[in-house]
Amino acid sequence: MWKHFVALGDSFTEGIGDTVEGAELKSWVDRFAHLHTPELQYTNLAKRGLVTHEVRLKQLEQALALQPDLVSLIAGANDILKGRWNRDEYKTDMELMINRLHKSGADIIIANLPDFTVRLPLPVEQQHVVKAQLIEANEIIQSLSNEYKLYHIDCWNHPMAKDNTLWSKDLIHPNSRGYRVIAETIFNHVSVT
């Protein structure tokens, strides 16, 4: 169905995390591409540490130049976890990227953010702030997903969000088994939608 998949984002899409027994560390992007028959050609542009504005500046034009017919855009966790959350800026950057990618004719995969507060040992006050910001980000993601009819992956309500065996020791990045679960979840979603 698709010929070239391009992934934009941060460390979650780059594939940073711990290796656990029985699962080689590969990004969900790599695993997702291998689930297709024939294997899906892909380019993973994601880089660790980027906030959404940086994803737009560093990856959008590069992605468009590759003329993909399938794109994933998962971003926002660093904006919140690095204390750089700006709701309006996030909405503007995400909307601009989605609009440009949509106009290119590519199908778009998007995912809301998981609830890091169920895992991270944050002080109670900070927990409330982070959770409120995650909810704000997810409302923007859901709204854009509805407007542009995107492939929307719900990481907030996925059982994986509360299963610590699928997360690295930092409790932020999935581990090698977690990336396999994410790839299968996304593959199953786009295959049946």
Q: What is the pLDDT of residues 16-40, one digit of tens each?
A: 999 999 999 999 999 999 999 999 9
Mean pLDDT of 153-160: 93
N-to-C CA span, the chain = 13
Answer for the pair 46, 17: CB distance below 8 angstroms, yes or no.
no
Q: How far is CA 85 from the centre of its chain?
A: 17
Helix (H) or strand (E) holding 153: strand 151-153
Mean pLDDT of 111-127: 93
> pLDDT confidence of 193, banded at 50, 70, 90?
low
Kindly list the domain boundaries of the chain, sorted by start residue: 4-192
The residue type of 31 is: R
SS3 state at 39: coil
Q: What percent of the chain has pLDDT over 70?
A: 99
Mean pLDDT of 38-46: 96
Q: Which two tokens stand for residue 159?
A: 């059982």
Cβ within 8 Å of residue 41, ≥6 positions away: 3, 4, 5, 33
Mean pLDDT of 112-129: 93
Q: What is the pLDDT of residues 71-100, one digit of tens each?
A: 999 999 999 999 999 999 999 999 999 999
pLDDT for res 192? 72
pLDDT for res 80? 97
Placement of tokens 């698709």 in the chain:
2
Cα–Cα distance measured from residue 183 to residue 32, given in angstroms and rounded to the nearest whole number? 5
Q: What is the pLDDT of residues 164-185, one digit of tens each?
A: 999 999 999 999 999 999 999 9
Average pLDDT, the chain: 96
CA within 13 Å, CB half, 104: 22
Q: Which two tokens stand for residue 121?
A: 């040992």
CATH number for the segment(s) 4-192:
3.40.50.1110
pLDDT at 50 over 90: yes
